[in-house]
Amino acid sequence: MQAFEYANPATLQEAVAMLGSSWGEADILAGGTDLISLMKDYIHTPKRVVNIKGLKELQGITKTATGLRIGAVVTFDEVAESPLIRSEYPSIVQAVLGVASPQIRNMGTVGGDLCQRNRCWYFRQGFGTLGKDKDGTSLPPIGENRYHAIFPKGDAYFVSASSLGPPLIALGAKVKIAGPSGSREIPVEELFVVPTSNKGREVSLAPNEILTEILIPSARGVRNATYEVRHKQALDWPLATASVALRMKGSTVASAKIVLGHVGPTPVIATEAEALLAGKALTPDLAAEAGKVAVNGAKPLSGNEYKVQLTRVAVKRALMEAMKARA
């Protein structure tokens, strides 16, 4: 690992001031479950590491007038154990419990989950965010791509790694971001971006910005669920995920949000499937139809066609799970 300066700021303002104005100057350290591996592999070689884990401003889960606030350094374990989250947001609890291993859930934070780097083998081997060769050739389409996107965008074939992204988007959550000129709030779907250069990032944060909290509207009356299809029950990311949030009018769906995870470089909003459900009673057949429609436009690579069927199944099962969930 390259030597670095370690900073332990006492306040959020101090932490922001310690970050650099370009990538590579400083890295934010939360639980370290992704950052430390990136540093050990020389993928990230920051001059300074800024620890945010002790910042009071970033801690705690609290009720707000409109829903819930989760501080960025809250761990997966704290989320899974929170009665406030368990009572209204089963889709979040299901996503968190899917994150493998008690150790990761104990150390990993919600802010770190949203900001973690992608898992593409080429990126992790030093070929840049988009996994390109020196001459600019994209490696995933011509190489190993079994875990890559079935909804690639531009030259981005990696998948967004975050398990929390899909349920937060389905629930209409926002994130609050602090920077040198104050703070701003954006919908979670605007946090995830498709990098256009091999040095670009997967999130829309500037190098000197910190994600400080997640703000989720109340989900009272919203049936929500996440269904992940995984290779195995330990130490791996899902192959395909669907998170759904349904507003019901009696026994029919008034409106639906369906968000697919781990199939594109950003979470994919399945708008066609959402429209299909509106105004209809949700039956297993309709849920299966929504799964089929959700993968319209998928462009699988040579080795990941199987993910199309997994995604159909994830959508169907998430919808059926939501119908069982307490609203």
Ligand X SMILES: Cc1cc2nc3c(=O)[nH]c(=O)nc-3n(C[C@H](O)[C@H](O)[C@H](O)COP(=O)(O)OP(=O)(O)OC[C@H]3O[C@@H](n4cnc5c(N)ncnc54)[C@H](O)[C@@H]3O)c2cc1C
| Interface ranges with ligand X (CB under 6 A) | 27-35, 52, 72, 98-101, 104, 107-109, 111-113, 115-117, 161-163, 205, 210-211, 235, 237-238
The distance of closest approach from Cβ of residue 304 to ligand X in the complex, given in angstroms and rounded to an integer, is 18
The distance of closest approach from Cβ of residue 172 to ligand X in the complex, given in angstroms and rounded to an integer, is 20
According to DSSP H, which parts of the chain are helical? 12-18, 35-40, 76-81, 83-88, 90-98, 102-107, 110-115, 121-124, 165-170, 188-191, 271-277, 284-294, 306-324
- Which residue's Cβ has the minimum distance to ligand X? 112
The distance of closest approach from Cβ of residue 48 to ligand X in the complex, given in angstroms and rounded to an integer, is 11
State which H helix or E strand residue 248 sits in: strand 240-249
End-to-end Cα distance, the chain: 49
One DSSP character per residue, 283-314 reads -HHHHHHHHHHHTTT----TT-THHHHHHHHH
Pairwise CA distance, residues 310 & 315, whole Å: 9
State which H helix or E strand residue 118 sits in: none
The residue (of 88 and 113) whose beta carbon lies closer to ligand X is: 113
The distance of closest approach from Cβ of residue 75 to ligand X in the complex, given in angstroms and rounded to an integer, is 8
The residue (of 32 and 303) whose beta carbon lies closer to ligand X is: 32
The distance of closest approach from Cβ of residue 130 to ligand X in the complex, given in angstroms and rounded to an integer, is 17
The residue (of 125 and 252) whose beta carbon lies closer to ligand X is: 125
The residue (of 34 and 289) whose beta carbon lies closer to ligand X is: 34
The residue (of 114 and 322) whose beta carbon lies closer to ligand X is: 114
Three-state SS at 129? coil
Three-state SS at 102? helix
